[in-house]
């Protein structure tokens, strides 16, 4: 009571206000992230190369005033939309960097067609839109590219001085076919697969994909483009990158920049993240979408430093790469798609022809059993299963980047083991058929010999009619 009497109303009110502020600061809810930390989102559209209309989203910081640095974010391979980079763009925006993400074109870009020059022009169109927006520092607008997107942004940097800087994540320094063959081996080895399947996927099958035109831009060489990049470059790889061959790619890109006269690049390896710099629970072999807690910290500091001068050359020690990439031999004539398709058709006709001839003869006679060799029926069935199953399975592995293998037994995936057993059965059935026909050639008759392909149809026809006319 004495204390209350000694205070005037003004002092009492001040004391109560101070007490309320202290309680608010000590309250657990005061430590929560403020709601105004969420970046501002604006839907935009622009005209890309060839007049294609593209749609995107600009993520802008809300708590920072003045003109801010900005970047266009270009995704990796595949028809992915802007949603794949949304979390990364929001992280940059929370760090004070304006970010533009957009849906990749579907016209002139597909699984079987790539044009990195076209993607570069799309990125430049996005950059022009970004530079004209209020709140963007026109002198501090750059590009960020993931994996395949790194090829597009490096080309764009060659074409326009408006690109102030280049940031890449998981850039590949060698030809796409060589890199993909290496990635097949990494994923198959991680799944415990050994033996002939990795050798097939990394060698003959990849070469056949190239020869058949099913591997777009397989021989694209990014080195000449990097040699002409003059802007500051921040090239990053995850230490658990299982797709870009980071040790080799970083060395190739750094050498290309140096030979081109660029001394303002940073080669950085981010600990414990995978190809797209996301977190991982399986040593880089999974595909979860979760950013590390410090995502965009280093990149933002690097971008902010550019306003004070060009960064010096800096190269992190590369992590150990257990397997080195290997150059693929050039496709030969029999790797061509037409030749491969023709060979499969001939084999299919040969295996299908045996039971098909029996069916035709039975339908033609209307009744009765058509004689045939049991061994030949086995050969027809197993042979057809192998020539149909093998390309389908290998194409499945290619489409999933060998990331879906299923159970593994004796170092082989179960489908591959089944195909190998069927191939052995084909060899056994072939020998069995030959022996059976030889021992029963007198009883089998000429018709059966024709069905087995052991006697030309004209010989059989002459024996029956005495004429060569069909």
373 part of a folded domain: yes
Which of 375, 364, 234, 373 is closest to 305 using CA atoms? 234
Can you tell me the mean pLDDT for 231-238? 98
Q: Which tops the pLDDT comparison, 20 or 277? A: 277
Question: What pLDDT digit, counting tens, does each position of 240-267 carry?
Answer: 999 999 999 999 999 999 999 999 999 9
What H or E segment, with its residue span, contains residue 189? helix 176-190
> Which residues, including other chains, have CB under 8 Å from residue 312's CB and lie 6 or more apart?
263, 264
Residue 121 class from Cβ within 10 Å (0-12 exposed, 13-18 middle, 19+ buried)? buried
The CATH number covering residue 121 comes to: 3.40.50.1820
pLDDT of 367 > 90? The answer is: no
The band of 444, judged by pLDDT with boundaries at 50, 70 and 90, is: low
Cβ–Cβ under 8 Å, residues 306 and 140: yes
First to last CA, the chain: 127
Same domain as 117, residue 64: yes
The band of 14, judged by pLDDT with boundaries at 50, 70 and 90, is: very low
The band of 374, judged by pLDDT with boundaries at 50, 70 and 90, is: confident
Same domain as 439, residue 310: no
Same domain as 54, residue 103: yes
134 part of a folded domain: yes
186 part of a folded domain: no
60 part of a folded domain: yes
The band of 365, judged by pLDDT with boundaries at 50, 70 and 90, is: low
Can you tell me the mean pLDDT for 375-398? 90
Same domain as 60, residue 25: no
Helix, strand, coil share (%) of the chain residues, nearest 5: 50, 15, 35
215 part of a folded domain: no
Same domain as 144, residue 103: yes
Calculate helix-pair angle for 441-451, 414-439, nearest 10 degrees. Answer: 130
pLDDT of 186 > 90? The answer is: yes
Q: What percent of the chain has pLDDT over 90?
A: 66
Same domain as 271, residue 404: no
Question: What pLDDT digit, counting tens, does each position of 410-441 carry?
Answer: 999 999 999 999 999 999 988 888 787 677 65
Q: Name the domain count of the chain.
A: 3
What pLDDT shows up at residue 112?
A: 87
pLDDT of 450 > 90? The answer is: no
pLDDT of 16 > 50? The answer is: no
pLDDT of 332 > 90? The answer is: no
Same domain as 368, residue 251: no
pLDDT of 33 > 50? The answer is: no
Same domain as 449, residue 339: yes
Distance separating alpha carbons of residues 172 and 163, to the nearest angstrom: 20
pLDDT of 140 > 60? The answer is: yes
Residues in the chain: 470
β-pairing, 412-413 with 408-409? antiparallel
What pLDDT shows up at residue 245?
A: 97
Can you tell me the mean pLDDT for 175-204? 96
* Domain end position, chosen among 251, 286, 315: 315
213 part of a folded domain: no
Same domain as 397, residue 255: no
445 part of a folded domain: yes
Domain that holds residue 18: 2-31
309 part of a folded domain: yes
The predicted model scores a pTM of 0.82
What pLDDT shows up at residue 429?
A: 87
Question: Tokens 């593209």 — which residue?
Answer: 54
Q: Which tops the pLDDT comparison, 365 or 467? A: 365
Distance separating alpha carbons of residues 104 and 84, to the nearest angstrom: 11
What pLDDT shows up at residue 28?
A: 33
CA atoms within 13 A on the CB side of 65: 0
Can you tell me the mean pLDDT for 173-198? 96
Same domain as 402, residue 291: no
CB atoms < 10 A from the CB of 250, how many?
25
Same domain as 142, residue 227: yes
Helix, strand, or coil here: 372?
A: coil
The band of 460, judged by pLDDT with boundaries at 50, 70 and 90, is: very low
CB atoms < 10 A from the CB of 322, how many?
8
Same domain as 151, residue 282: yes
What pLDDT shows up at residue 99?
A: 98
């Amino acid at each position: 009571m004495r204390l209350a009497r000694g205070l005037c109303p003004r002092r009492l009110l001040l004391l109560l206000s101070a007490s309320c502020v202290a309680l608010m600061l000590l309250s657990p809810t005061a430590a929560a992230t403020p709601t105004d930390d969420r970046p501002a989102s604006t839907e935009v559209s622009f005209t890309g190369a060839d007049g294609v209309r593209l749609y995107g989203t600009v993520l802008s910081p809300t708590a920072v005033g003045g003109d801010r640095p900005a970047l266009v974010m270009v995704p990796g391979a595949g028809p992915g939309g802007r949603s794949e980079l949304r979390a990364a763009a929001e992280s940059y925006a929370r760090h004070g960097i304006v970010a533009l993400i957009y849906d990749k074109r579907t016209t002139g870009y597909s699984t079987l067609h790539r044009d990195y020059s076209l993607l570069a022009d799309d990125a430049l169109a996005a950059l022009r839109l970004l530079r004209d927006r209020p709140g963007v520092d026109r002198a501090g607008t750059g590009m960020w590219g993931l994996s395949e997107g790194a090829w597009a942004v490096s080309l764009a940097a060659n074409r326009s001085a408006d690109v102030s800087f280049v940031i890449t994540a998981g850039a590949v320094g060698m030809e796409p076919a060589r890199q993909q063959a290496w990635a097949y081996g990494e994923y198959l080895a991680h799944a415990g697969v050994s033996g002939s399947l990795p050798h097939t996927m990394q060698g003959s099958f990849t070469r056949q994909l190239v020869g058949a035109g099913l591997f777009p831009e397989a021989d694209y060489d990014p080195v000449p483009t990097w040699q002409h990049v003059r802007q500051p470059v921040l090239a990053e790889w995850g230490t658990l990158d299982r797709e870009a061959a980071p040790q080799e790619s970083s060395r190739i890109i750094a050498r290309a920049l140096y030979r081109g006269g660029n001394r303002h690049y940073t080669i950085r390896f981010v600990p414990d993240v995978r190809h797209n710099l996301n977190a991982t629970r399986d040593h880089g072999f999974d595909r979860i979408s979760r950013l590390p807690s410090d995502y965009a910290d280093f990149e933002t500091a690097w971008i902010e430093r550019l306003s004070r001068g060009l960064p010096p050359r800096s190269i992190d020690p590369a992590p150990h790469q257990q397997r080195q990439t290997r150059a693929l031999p050039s496709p030969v004539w029999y790797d061509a798609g037409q030749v491969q398709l023709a060979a499969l058709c001939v084999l299919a006709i040969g295996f299908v022809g045996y039971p098909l001839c029996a069916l035709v003869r039975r339908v033609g006679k209307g009744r009765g059993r058509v004689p045939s060799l049991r061994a030949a029926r086995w050969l027809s069935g197993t042979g057809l299963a192998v020539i149909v199953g093998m390309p389908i399975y290998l194409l499945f592995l290619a489409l999933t980047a060998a990331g879906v293998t299923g159970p593994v037994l004796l170092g082989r995936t179960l489908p591959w083991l089944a195909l190998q057993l069927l191939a052995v059965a084909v060899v056994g059935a072939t020998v069995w058929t030959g022996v059976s026909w030889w021992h029963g050639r007198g009883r089998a008759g000429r018709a059966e010999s024709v069905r087995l392909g052991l006697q030309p149809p004209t010989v059989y026809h002459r024996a029956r009619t005495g004429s060569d006319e069909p």
